[in-house]
Amino acid sequence: MKMMLYLCLFVFMSLLGLSRSADVPGNYPTSVYGNKYDCRWLGESEYCRQICKSHGVNYGYCYDSRCWCEYLEDKDVDFWAAHKNHCTNDRLYPKGK
């Protein structure tokens, strides 16, 4: 009987935690070929963090075997769009173009 009570309590607390968790917006960035970046180890990943920095955001991690970037806007998902939006080289992207 105690086991059933603990099980019910565990399920209830898990559901309560899921309902209160913050849903951080973000996106899966895409490479120059339009593919999502694969990653091997779930969780914190220096590789994914570097990918996300190249797309203009500071933090990312491996989720669902793909790099996930927190706060990555739709306009910066594509590699070339992100490069154009964040590049400071005026020779490559003159002002106004």
SS (H, E, C) 30-49: ECCCCCECECCCCEECHHHH
> Please, what CATH class does the domain formed by 25-86 belong to?
alpha beta
pLDDT for 21-80, tens place per residue? 468 899 999 999 999 999 999 999 999 999 999 999 999 999 999 999 999 999 999 988
Q: Are 48 and 71 in contact (CB under 8 A)?
A: no
Q: Are 81 and 87 in contact (CB under 8 A)?
A: no
Q: What is the pLDDT of residue 7?
A: 77
Tell me the pTM.
0.67
